[in-house]
Amino acid sequence: MAVKSPYITSSGYQDLRKELAQLWKKRRRVVKILAAAAAEGDRSENAEYIYRKKQLREMDRRIRYLQKRLPELKSIDNPPGETGRIFFGAWVTLEDESGREVTYRIVGADEFAPQKNWISVDSPMARALLGKALDEEIRVQTPSGKKELLVLEISYQHPLEE
């Protein structure tokens, strides 16, 4: 597995801390339910017991990951000094060859969200964008082939908040 960059937005860092706290609370409830299911007798055919053991393993795996990852992360709170170029945390509006526009946000590997068009700083698209300025063209290899894109807009605030 490739090493993930340590950068994360401050809101992403807070979300991971909240997730860890919620997992610990939920884990306590699951342990109580598991203990009650175990007290019912034969565990080999006890669906509740089997399900809760699996749920506990998944939660413990995520808790271990977060406990290891959170201290490694570097929260980026402020926009860079040069806001005319694309760096971590930027909202970038691009135009493809057909004139279609799309806006991406470059975020940390632990907070990327394809449904929001948030891309990991480690992704090929983000690596192609980093350091570029307004009206620059980029070429990037995507799963659907090579694309040429034009940088239309760069912002360090959510486009709807401006």
- pLDDT, residue 162, reads 52
Average pLDDT over residues 17-37: 96
| Euclidean distance between CA atoms 130 and 90, whole angstroms | 9
- CA 30 to each of CA 3, 43, 45, 68: distance values in angstroms, whole numbers, following the listed order: 32, 16, 19, 22
Token representation of residue 132: 């570029």
pLDDT, tens digit (0-9, with 9 covering 90-100), for 43-69 = 888 899 999 999 999 999 999 999 999
Look at the pTM and tell me if it is higher than 0.95. Answer: no
**CATH number among 3.90.25.10, 3.10.50.30, 3.40.50.1000, 3.30.1360.120, domain 78-155:** 3.10.50.30
- pLDDT, residue 157, reads 87
Fold exhibited by the domain 7-75: Helix Hairpins (1.10.287)
Of all residues in the chain, what percent are helix, strand and coil, respectively (each to 5)?
40, 25, 35
